[in-house]
Amino acid sequence: MKRDDLVVYLNDYLRVAEIEDTAQNGLQVEGPEEVTKVAFAVDACLVAFEQAVEAGAQLLVVHHGLFWDKPYRLVGPFYRRVRTLIEGGCGLYAVHLPLDAHPEVGNNAELARLLGLKEARPFGKYHGVEIGIAGVLEPPLEIPALIGRLIQALNRPPVRVLAHGPAKAHRVGCISGFAVSMIEQVEEAGLDTFITGETSHAYFHQAVERGLNVLFAGHYATETLGVKALARHLEERFGLETVFIDLPTGM
């Protein structure tokens, strides 16, 4: 299909213009006019660009794009990244918060679905938009069993578990990536268990003192879900060939 038609569809479907973000979401590097194969990855990095070109993709869709809230000089590694795309005939499309928040193919909607959360609802405001999903486990699930379900959903083990809430998880919230700073909103939402990507030392006692279970399943791992779901959506809607480029960081 035409690249511009695909970009218009993605911008509309993902509500790119409606969601404030520090990322410059949308088409970041133009690429060929015709698209038959789309690659997907979490991060805009050199190896992802090289593999997208090697796979014969005319467009690469990523969650973490090249351009954020400041200008970048085309020198060093940044130049090599852009050169690889241009010389390889591959465009770049980035979608950050809109992919976290999307109700159908979003990182958090997918994670909630895989975990079997019922009564799913948006929660967790960031830049004025609720980007997370909260729901209930019926029946409540013991924390080791929830860990097992999370490992199965992501095909990767959680990085760390802080079990300072009930022995059984009942009211659960999911926000992918680095969302531990939103832990106050977890408590305000009446949740007992929070699943996010990564943490830092500063938030350890926040979980303890709020009496919460917090499962850190990896920034990368929790953000593979949205790009994979978006790939399936484009395959079904437009018949495009897709490929997922898996480049785990261990974080």
Write out the chain's pLDDT in tens, 251 residues.
999 999 999 999 999 999 999 999 999 999 999 999 999 999 999 999 999 999 999 999 999 999 999 889 999 999 999 999 999 999 999 999 999 999 999 999 999 999 999 999 999 999 899 999 999 999 999 999 999 999 999 998 887 899 999 999 999 999 999 999 999 999 999 999 999 999 989 899 999 999 999 999 999 999 999 999 999 999 999 999 999 999 999 98
Helix 107-115 vs helix 224-238: crossing angle, to nearest 10: 100
What backbone phi and psi angles, to 5 degrees, belong to 168?
Answer: -115, 130
Q: How far apart are CA 147 and CA 159, in angstroms?
A: 11
Quick one: pLDDT at residue 70?
87
CATH 2.60.40.1730 is right for the domain spanning 3-95: no
Quick one: pLDDT at residue 81?
98
Quick one: pLDDT at residue 216?
96
Cis peptide before 166 (omega within 30 of 0): no
- CA quadruple 172, 175, 177, 182: dihedral, nearest 10: -100
The helix (H) or strand (E) run that includes residue 153 is helix 143-154
Q: Where are the domains of the chain?
A: 3-95, 100-220
Quick one: pLDDT at residue 32?
98
The superfamily (CATH) of domain 100-220 is NIF3 (NGG1p interacting factor 3)-like (3.40.1390.30)
Q: How far, in whole angstroms, is CA 39 from its chain's centroid? A: 15
Q: How far apart are CA 135 and CA 113, in angstroms?
A: 10
Burial of 66 (0-12, 13-18, 19+ CB in 10 A): buried
Domains 3-95 and 100-220 fall in the same CATH topology: yes
Quick one: pLDDT at residue 211?
96
Structure tokens at 97: 């918060």
Query: Closest Cα partner for 10 from 227, 245, 243?
Result: 227
For 97, other C-beta atoms within 10 Å of its C-beta total 23
